[in-house]
Structure 1
Amino acid sequence: MTGQASTSRLGLLQALLACCIWGVMPIYFKLLESVAPLEVVAHRIIWSVPVLLVILYFRKNLSGLRVAWAEAKIRGPLLATALLITVNWLIYVWAIQEDHILAASLGYFISPLLSVFLASIFLKEKLSRNQWIAVGIAAIGVSILAMEAWQTLWISLALAGSWGLYGLVRKVTDVGPIVGLTVETSYLLLPFLLFIGWITFGTTTPTTTTHLGDNLTIDILLLGGAIVTATPLMLFAAAVKKMKLSTIGLTQYIAPTLQFLIGVLLYREPLTTSHIICFILIWTSLAIFSADAIFGGASKKTAAT
């Protein structure tokens, strides 16, 4: 029992660290404001491939990568998720650089609720009454925000939608998180290498953006994007194996909460009345959803025994 408790505590620490890294990412990408968002994403993908391959090598899981590439039922869905994660990363980086951190954080607050809704539609997973109430409250919050901040609402919905669909496809695809991300970034490697080659050697017109090789600090940050991508993923994947699903579900709200606080307190983004009402309703819906997941699951276990 002590061993299980110790393992669970380690898993919790790993999950918290992963979520904290995701939560402070706006600061990281703010440091790359001088680089165009598409170029930031390109470097994040390009340098992730060798880093992920090294990780798989030391984890002795290159065989899993070979299996993934050999199976058409895995390759096809991962091509779709590669496109979804590219859209998600690009919108996220652009939003951070354009001072829309609140909109980005709202997207990741909505995402878990949207994932539940998508699962009910495509996977035929039944929602409880409380879960439907939670989804309804979230929808009201988004509707209120749409009346005042409709100009940036698309950012939140695009991030929630792309991440929700990404999670849905990955859920039904039999592949591990690191192997899956390696395949996804490998799909994107050649197009983004060509893109980087074109902006480096193929354009002669002067630009206002910074590129790899122009500044040492920027170079380190662009290369470090691969570490920033892989590290929280590995920590979270390890934590999932050690923790209860309900606890894991609660930790996923840490990252957008940190992003929200960073946007308001550090970068002084304007917090309107509709923002406040919307976030209160979203947090209320998440509280209902989380309570239902924890206590509802416990009730089902009790009834089963």
Structure 2
Amino acid sequence: MRKGVFYAVGAYLAWGLLPLYWKVFQEMAAWEILAHRIVWSLVFVAVLLFVTKRWLQMRKAISTAKERGALLLCSLFISANWLIFIWAVNNGNVLETSLGYYINPLLNVLFGVLFLKERLGKGQWMAIALAAAGVSVMTAHYGRVPWVAISLALTFACYGLVKKLIKTDAIISLAWETLVVAPVALGYLVTLHVSGTDTLSHVTGWQIALLTLSGVATALPLFWFAQAAKLLPLSTVGFIQYLAPSISLFMAVFLFGETFGGVHLVSFGLIWSALFVYTVSSMRKKPGSAQQQVELAIKKEA
């Protein structure tokens, strides 16, 4: 249990601190950062698979056409999620990324109902209604849908839903997901360099070093989460997951100086209430319920 908590806290702490990491490359375009993240993630995961002699497991992971199709969709969804997150961080929208990852667990539940024929209790439906109200408040006030938050929650929920079709562990899955889009990412970086429009030549040495470590920053938290999921009850992992958006929220307000006014307080308050209602109602369900198994599968990230 103690080891599982350590892994879970490490994973969500790392994910919560990611805005600090991407802020280092603020002068780079989001597409360029994404391309580097994909390439260096593949390099790091390839080294891991080589050291652990697990290359043969990659072929077994996509033995059917259904799994190959699911893998392609996973690759597209997680790449879109990474791109939106990086763009949002470097354009002063960390607060909205936090909102997105607060919404995500509840959207996962809704997907379970829509696509996996799950049945929810009254408390869980109330939680979804409260979250919808929270998003509506912000939309009504600003006159626009908080698209960053919704896009992050939606792409990650779709990623988790499709990922259920791939029966493999997190690292091998990440290897395939990055391998699928790596040629495009590498081609994009080469094109930028040849045309002289890349920004890599204008950053410092320590920034380049950090950029090459983006693969480590991507894969290690994923591995820690996978380990935590094996060692901890679902309810414990579910509770710790709110650490990441909470860290991002506090950084947005107190470190990056983003505005957190009365409307934000009402909107976030409704969503926090939704998460509380959902957590309490879920804890009353039997530990082995299908709903909880679905939620655990959907939570597995990249």
Q: Provide the rounded CA distance (Å) in 2 between the counterparts of 1:243 and 1:59.
A: 25
Matching residue within 113, 120, 136 for 1:143: 136
Shift of 1:173: 2.4
Shift of 1:152: 6.5
Matching residue within 21, 24, 28 for 1:31: 24
Q: Provide the rounded CA distance (Å) in 1 between the counterparts of 2:34 and 2:69.
A: 22
Shift of 1:58: 3.3
**1:171–1:150 distance in 2 versus 1, CA, 3 Å:** farther
The aligned residue for residue 5 of structure 1 is none
The aligned residue for residue 119 of structure 1 is 112
The one-character-per-residue Cα deviations of 1:38-85 (angstroms, maximum 9, x if unpaired) are 110100000111211222233343222121244322211010111111
Shift of 1:236: 0.6
Structure with max Cα Rg: 1
CA contact (8 A) 1:212 1:218 kept: no
Query: Unaligned 5+ residue runs, structure 1?
Result: 1-7, 301-305
The aligned residue for residue 15 of structure 1 is 8
Select between 217-226 and 159-168 the one with higher mean Cα deviation.
Answer: 217-226
**1:258–1:152 distance in 2 versus 1, CA, 3 Å:** farther
Q: Provide the rounded CA distance (Å) in 2 between the counterparts of 1:52 and 1:122.
A: 31
CA contact (8 A) 1:79 1:184 kept: yes
The aligned residue for residue 82 of structure 1 is 75
Shift of 1:213: 7.0
**1:287–1:218 distance in 2 versus 1, CA, 3 Å:** same
* 3-state SS of 2:260 partner: coil
The aligned residue for residue 92 of structure 2 is 99
Shift of 1:222: 1.2
Whether 2:261 is the aligned partner of 1:268: answer no
CA contact (8 A) 1:264 1:270 kept: yes
The aligned residue for residue 49 of structure 2 is 56
TM-score by length of 2: 0.91
CA contact (8 A) 2:22 2:86 kept: yes
Q: Provide the rounded CA distance (Å) in 2 between the counterparts of 1:280 and 1:88.
A: 25
Q: CA RMSD in A?
A: 1.7
**1:119–1:212 distance in 2 versus 1, CA, 3 Å:** farther
Matching residue within 215, 220, 243 for 2:232: 243
Q: Provide the rounded CA distance (Å) in 1 between the counterparts of 2:50 and 2:166.
A: 22
Q: Provide the rounded CA distance (Å) in 2 between the counterparts of 1:89 and 1:212.
A: 23
Query: Unaligned 5+ residue runs, structure 2?
Result: 290-302
Whether 2:222 is the aligned partner of 1:233: answer yes
TM-score by length of 1: 0.90
The one-character-per-residue Cα deviations of 1:128-153 (angstroms, maximum 9, x if unpaired) are 11100000000001100101234460
The one-character-per-residue Cα deviations of 1:263-282 (angstroms, maximum 9, x if unpaired) are 01111101122111011111
The one-character-per-residue Cα deviations of 1:181-210 (angstroms, maximum 9, x if unpaired) are 110100011011110000001x24xx5x72
**1:133–1:184 distance in 2 versus 1, CA, 3 Å:** same
Residues matched between the structures, number: 289
Q: Provide the rounded CA distance (Å) in 1 between the counterparts of 2:243 and 2:285.
A: 22
**1:150–1:22 distance in 2 versus 1, CA, 3 Å:** farther
Q: Provide the rounded CA distance (Å) in 2 between the counterparts of 1:200 and 1:58.
A: 31
**1:199–1:132 distance in 2 versus 1, CA, 3 Å:** same
Q: Provide the rounded CA distance (Å) in 2 between the counterparts of 1:299 and 1:219.
A: 46
The aligned residue for residue 199 of structure 2 is 210
Percent identity for Structure 1 against Structure 2: 35
